[in-house]
């Protein structure tokens, strides 16, 4: 009988998306075949302490051992309880999706699932990602970036500049957050200051984007050096836009999987999704979000999520299922890609073996 692969699920985290991470990790846990994997769970609480728990489904209050502030791999006092064959971060937002946990895993020289440090950090920062997409010729929604120091004390003047640059409505969002946390749709100049102030509660950098009246489309990407894109799907929000409550609380959002689109547009979406994936140096997985203005036949790359939601209603696994790859096979492939990426890097950077 083949030896089981020991997988460490890492979830929770310090970001505003902590609760979403728990739901995603629970779904991944349920789809990791017990005959293939020996699974153990590491919960990072909202203060940043790490603790081994029973599972993402049943969080143990006492866990096993004392909480830790980091993973002490290597050297004197190696904690064998935390060692695994591969690590599977299911962390959304800052301190998990932004390259920080990936840097820790790189320093530990262990295989892990998903994008590396650079791709994760760029994907997390919507302003930087959009700049790179634009440089690569990808169509992006017009935007401006605000820093808190430029906003404080000049709110009315900056708001006036925004109003002259973009027609209303506009969207205001933190640069480094996901799951629609902190995002506002602003219909008139009167609501702009409040929306920007709200976004600055979550990040020191804020984007203001031109409002696009169009269909919301999503496409899943999977792979390392030769990524492939799924069939695209469509989000049918029950509110004015696909906000946090619509995603995770109300459960009224509709999905069309796959999206009802002409074949040439489907091909273009899949091609652009892979191009966006490569533009910021991703590996493993990502979900690429689009807007489509049907009347003008104009497609925009909105953003890329490097650790997309994995809940039962999340588009990433649903799109792959519609494309012929079931959830259990999807997590198998993600783990294989994690080992592949680590092996490639070892061959290129193991100077002591030369």
Nearest to 283 by CA among 95, 123, 114: 114
Q: What is the CATH number of the domain that holds 299?
A: 3.30.470.20
Do residues 185 and 228 both lie within one domain?
no
In a domain, 345, yes or no: no
Do residues 100 and 182 both lie within one domain?
no
What sign has the CA pseudo-torsion 175, 282, 56, 233?
positive
Range of the domain at 169: 143-210
Do residues 166 and 313 both lie within one domain?
no
pLDDT of residue 77: 41
How many Cβ atoms are within 10 Å of 254's Cβ, its own excluded? 9
On whether the CB atoms of residues 120 and 112 are closer than 8 A, the answer is no
Q: Residue with structure tokens 């998903």?
A: 114
pLDDT of residue 180: 66
Last residue in a domain, options 189, 210, 231: 210
Q: Residue with structure tokens 């840097």?
A: 103
Q: What is the CATH number of the domain that holds 165?
A: 3.30.1490.20
As for how many domains the chain has, the answer is 3
Provide the whole-model pTM.
Answer: 0.89
- Residues labelled as active-site residues: 17, 179, 248, 287, 289, 303, 305, 309
Do residues 103 and 242 both lie within one domain?
no
Long-range contacts of 158-165 (CB under 8 A, 24+ apart): 158/196, 159/189, 159/192, 159/193, 159/196, 160/189, 162/192, 162/208, 163/189, 163/192
Do residues 280 and 198 both lie within one domain?
no
pLDDT of residue 76: 42
Do residues 81 and 220 both lie within one domain?
no
On whether the CB atoms of residues 239 and 246 are closer than 8 A, the answer is yes
Do residues 240 and 284 both lie within one domain?
yes
In a domain, 254, yes or no: yes
Last residue in a domain, options 187, 210, 233: 210
In 110-191, alpha helices (H): 117-124, 126-135, 148-151, 155-165
Do residues 184 and 90 both lie within one domain?
no
pLDDT of residue 75: 46
In a domain, 117, yes or no: no
Do residues 129 and 206 both lie within one domain?
no
Q: What is the CATH number of the domain that holds 60?
A: 3.40.50.20
In a domain, 163, yes or no: yes
Instruction: Give the integer Cα–Cα distance in Å for 25 and 236.
Output: 25
Do residues 94 and 185 both lie within one domain?
no
In a domain, 354, yes or no: no
In a domain, 174, yes or no: yes
pLDDT of residue 215: 95
Instruction: Give the integer Cα–Cα distance in Å for 260 and 257.
Output: 8
pLDDT of residue 251: 57
Last residue in a domain, options 210, 225, 243: 210
Do residues 152 and 195 both lie within one domain?
yes
Do residues 60 and 148 both lie within one domain?
no
DSSP string, 49-79: -EEEES-SSS--SS-EEEEESS---SSTT--
In a domain, 346, yes or no: no
On whether the CB atoms of residues 127 and 198 are closer than 8 A, the answer is no
pLDDT of residue 78: 41
In a domain, 352, yes or no: no
Blockwise average pLDDT, block size 10, the chain, 354 residues: 89 90 95 96 90 82 56 50 90 91 92 97 95 97 94 90 93 80 89 94 93 95 98 84 50 86 98 98 98 94 94 91 97 98 82 54
């Amino acid at each position: 009988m083949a030896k089981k692969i020991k997988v460490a699920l890492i979830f929770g985290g310090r970001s505003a998306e902590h609760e979403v991470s728990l739901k995603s990790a629970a779904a991944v846990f349920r789809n990791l075949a017990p005959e293939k994997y020996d699974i153990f769970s590491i919960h990072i609480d909202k203060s940043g302490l790490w603790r081994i728990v029973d599972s993402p489904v049943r969080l143990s209050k006492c866990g096993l051992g004392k909480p830790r502030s980091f993973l002490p791999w290597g050297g004197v006092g190696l904690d064998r309880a935390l060692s695994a064959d591969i690590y599977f971060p299911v962390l959304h937002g800052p301190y998990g999706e932004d390259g920080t946990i990936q840097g820790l895993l790189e320093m530990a020289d262990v295989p892990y699932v998903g994008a590396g440090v650079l791709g994760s950090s760029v994907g997390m920062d919507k302003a930087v990602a959009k700049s790179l997409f634009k440089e690569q010729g990808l169509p992006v929604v017009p935007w401006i970036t605000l820093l808190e120091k430029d906003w404080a004390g000049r709110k009315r003047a900056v708001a006036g500049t925004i109003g002259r640059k973009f027609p209303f409505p506009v969207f205001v969002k933190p640069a480094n957050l996901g799951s629609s946390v902190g995002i506002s749709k602003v219909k008139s100049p009167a609501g702009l200051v409040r929306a920007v102030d709200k976004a600055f509660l979550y990040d020191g950098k804020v984007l203001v984007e031109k409002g696009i009246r169009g269909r919301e489309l999503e496409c899943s990407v999977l792979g390392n050096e030769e990524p492939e894109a799924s069939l695209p799907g469509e989000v049918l929000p029950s509110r004015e836009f696909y906000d946090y409550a619509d995603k995770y609380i109300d459960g009224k959002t509709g999905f069309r999987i796959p999206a009802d689109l002409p074949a040439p547009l489907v091909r273009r979406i899949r091609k652009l999704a892979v191009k966006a994936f490569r533009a910021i140096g991703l590996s493993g997985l990502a979900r690429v979000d689009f807007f489509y203005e049907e009347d003008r036949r104009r497609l925009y790359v909105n953003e890329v999520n490097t650790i997309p939601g994995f809940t039962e209603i999340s588009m990433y696994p649903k799109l792959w299922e519609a494309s012929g790859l079931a959830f259990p096979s999807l997590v198998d492939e993600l783990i294989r890609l994690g080992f592949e990426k680590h092996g490639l890097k070892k061959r290129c950077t193991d100077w002591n073996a030369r």
